[in-house]
């Protein structure tokens, strides 16, 4: 970044914050706008096609660009899709009450692999962040999708298998130790797959640091229960990944509550060239899903189902017992037309529960997300009842899921059925849920009646029949 020698407190505040995030585009909240300065402003103006202006005197002009606060997610999504990291700096105190400079602090960093906002995600695909640690010919890789809570790891030998795994999961971003940049051939292969490569400190991948991060995150003293105690390469990649996500999101992520250890030996390995030639999930001509096997097979009623179909296509089972279990489930659903129709009717009312829950955990959900969750939870008991009567063990196992009736009841009691789009508009808490809020609403809606009641009460109390209580717009 250009070193502008500006001594104003606000510019010094922005420069101090920017020093901590040199590889990220810094968006700073200024009233109803997010403003970008210096090289960030030039980049945003070019990539977003917005006006580039300047601030300062004749001798010292500072490049400046701004985007409105309300539609900011649209602009941020465009930058993230182009592979940029965006750091959001918010006002953390009320400007009206601030003495001097308004306090500001970074609330999160949005990267291609760390996204939870719906308008930045493909509903039918996972949005994976990948972490790679290499030791000789061995690799430990870990993948997390914070939009769904999925977290998995494995280890293996060979660059070819690594590239095949990357092709199968199609992560949006990859973190590696900074010294791994020296392996230019491997980095080039990863980038050629369209992956944003993000180097981090080597210490983040150390065995001791990684183990400490995992034990702290999962609130455990031992990793045996997660199946990775004797997988040092996976511990390194997993610990570095969790640290990176915690550092960028600046909040706990309790929905990443378990690690699924998988083996590449459990699935048929489909290398990237075979995936491309068979056009499993992207066609050769333009890279979209049109005309692919995935488009043909995807008849899922929910985004969660679509993501499962894609995983199954790219990870074909080779265990005969598991294949037969899946076939039995598919056969029963195929033959039982009434069961299938009843399930489809209920799934039509189910929203993307995984991503709604992740937005709730990450603090970015709104009231409409809660209503969508309530509607989805309403269908669970009906789905459980249908699956419980099935013969297939796979379908019966699904019927054992929790109905979450307590969560449904709380949302039903507290959240309006038709809430506004944003929380700042208010009106999303149901009448009757909170007595104090009901009283305040009553005052807001029926202030004149309330004043008349006070007036009548004060007349009786004082004995002054001519007593008047008036409302003044200035003093209230």
- Going from N- to C-terminal start, the domains of the chain cover 9-110, 123-265, 319-425, 446-476
319-425 belongs to CATH 1.10.1420.10:
yes
Sorted by sequence, the CB contacts under 8 Å of residue 364 that are 6+ apart come out as 116, 117
> What pLDDT does 270 receive?
85
220 vs 205: CA distance, rounded Å = 19
Look at 244-248, 293-297, 470-474 and tell me which has the smallest mean pLDDT.
470-474
64 vs 440: CA distance, rounded Å = 42
Question: In this model, does residue 253 exceed pLDDT 60?
Answer: yes
3-class secondary structure, 370? helix
Dmax (CA) for the chain in angstroms is 94
For 240-265, b/e burial (b = at least 16 CB within 10 A) is: bbbbbbbebbeeebebbeebeeeebe
Question: In this model, does residue 475 exceed pLDDT 80?
Answer: no
Task: Compute CA 240 distance to the chain's CA centroid, rounded to the nearest angstrom.
Answer: 19
Sorted by sequence, the CB contacts under 8 Å of residue 126 that are 6+ apart come out as 145, 147, 148, 150, 169, 307, 310, 311
Average pLDDT over every residue of 84-91: 93
Question: In this model, does residue 209 exceed pLDDT 90?
Answer: yes
Between residues 239 and 287, the one the model is more confident about: 239
**For residue range 386-431, what is the model confidence (pLDDT) as tens digits?**
999 999 999 999 989 999 999 999 999 999 999 987 777 788 999 9
By CB neighbour count within 10 A (0-12 exposed, 13-18 middle, 19+ buried), where does 399 fall?
middle
By CB neighbour count within 10 A (0-12 exposed, 13-18 middle, 19+ buried), where does 232 fall?
middle
369 vs 407: CA distance, rounded Å = 13
> What pLDDT does 145 receive?
96
378 vs 412: CA distance, rounded Å = 10
> What pLDDT does 94 receive?
78
Q: What fold characterizes domain 9-110?
A: MutS, DNA mismatch repair protein, domain I (3.40.1170)
> What pLDDT does 276 receive?
86
Question: In this model, does residue 4 exceed pLDDT 50?
Answer: no
**For residue range 261-278, what is the model confidence (pLDDT) as tens digits?**
999 888 888 888 888 899
Contact (CB, 8 A) for 129 and 146:
yes
Q: Which CATH superfamily is domain 123-265 in?
A: MutS, connector domain (3.30.420.110)
Question: In this model, does residue 2 exceed pLDDT 50?
Answer: no
Closest among 250, 287, 275 to 108, alpha carbons compared: 250
Q: Tokens 């695909």 identify what position? A: 125
Sorted by sequence, the CB contacts under 8 Å of residue 206 that are 6+ apart come out as 236
Average pLDDT over every residue of 200-213: 96
Query: Where does the pLDDT of residue 194 fall: very low under 50, low under 70, confident under 90, or very high at 90 and above?
Result: confident
CA dihedral 31, 37, 42, 48 (to 10 degrees): -20
By CB neighbour count within 10 A (0-12 exposed, 13-18 middle, 19+ buried), where does 227 fall?
middle
Q: Do 123-265 and 319-425 fold alike per CATH?
A: no
Question: In this model, does residue 3 exceed pLDDT 60?
Answer: no
Average pLDDT over every residue of 326-340: 95
> Phi and psi at residue 215, in whole multiples of 5°?
-65, -40
Q: Tell me the pLDDT of the chain averaged across its residues.
A: 90
């Amino acid at each position: 970044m250009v070193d502008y020698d500006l001594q104003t407190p606000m510019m010094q505040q922005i420069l101090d914050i920017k020093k901590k995030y040199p590889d990220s585009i810094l968006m700073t909240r200024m009233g109803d706008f997010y403003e970008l300065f210096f090289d960030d402003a030039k980049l945003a103006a070019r990539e977003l096609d917005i006006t580039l202006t300047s601030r300062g005197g004749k001798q010292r002009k500072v490049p400046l660009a701004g985007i409105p606060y309300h539609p900011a997610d649209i602009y941020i999504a465009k930058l993230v899709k182009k592979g940029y990291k965006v750091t959001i700096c918010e006002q953390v105190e009320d400007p009206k009450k601030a003495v001097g400079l308004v306090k500001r602090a970074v609330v999160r960093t949005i990267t291609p692999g760390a996204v939870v906002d719906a308008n930045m995600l493909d509903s039918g695909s996972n949005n994976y962040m990948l972490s790679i640690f290499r030791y000789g010919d061995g690799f430990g890789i870990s993948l997390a999708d914070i939009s769904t809570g999925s977290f998995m790891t494995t280890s293996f030998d060979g660059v070819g298998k690594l590239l095949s795994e990357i092709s199968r999961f199609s992560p949006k971003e990859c973190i590696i130790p900074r010294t791994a940049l020296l392996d230019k051939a491997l980095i080039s292969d990863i980038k050629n797959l369209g992956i944003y490569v993000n180097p981090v400190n080597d210490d983040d991948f150390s065995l001791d640091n990684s183990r400490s991060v995992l034990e702290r995150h999962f609130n455990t003293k031992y990793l045996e229960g997660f199946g990775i105690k004797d997988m040092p390469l996976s511990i390194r990649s997993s610990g570095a990944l969790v640290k990176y996500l915690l550092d960028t999101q600046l909040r706990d992520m309790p929905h990443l509550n378990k690690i699924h250890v998988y083996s590449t030996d459990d699935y048929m390995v489909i290398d990237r060239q075979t995936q491309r030639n068979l056009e499993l999930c992207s066609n050769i001509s333009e890279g979209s899903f049109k005309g692919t096997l995935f488009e043909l097979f995807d008849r899922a009623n929910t985004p969660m189902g679509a993501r499962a179909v894609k995983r199954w296509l790219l990870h074909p089972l080779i265990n005969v017992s598991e294949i037969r279990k899946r076939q039995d489930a598919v056969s029963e659903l195929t033959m039982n037309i009434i069961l299938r129709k009843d399930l489809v009717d209920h799934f039509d009312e189910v929203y993307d529960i995984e991503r709604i829950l992740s937005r709730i955990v990450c603090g970015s959900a709104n009231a409409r997300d809660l209503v969508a969750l309530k509607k989805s939870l309403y269908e669970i008991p009906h789905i459980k009842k249908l699956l419980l009567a099935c013969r297939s063990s796979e379908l019966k196992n699904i019927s054992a899921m929790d109905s979450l009736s307590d969560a449904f009841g709380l949302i039903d009691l507290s959240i309006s059925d038709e809430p506004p789009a944003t929380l700042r508009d208010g009106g999303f808490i149901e009448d009757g849920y909170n007595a104090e809020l009901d009283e305040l609403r009553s005052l807001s809606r029926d202030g004149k009646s309330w004043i008349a009641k006070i007036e009548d009460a004060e007349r009786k109390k004082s004995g002054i029949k001519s007593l008047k209580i008036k409302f003044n717009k200035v003093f209230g």
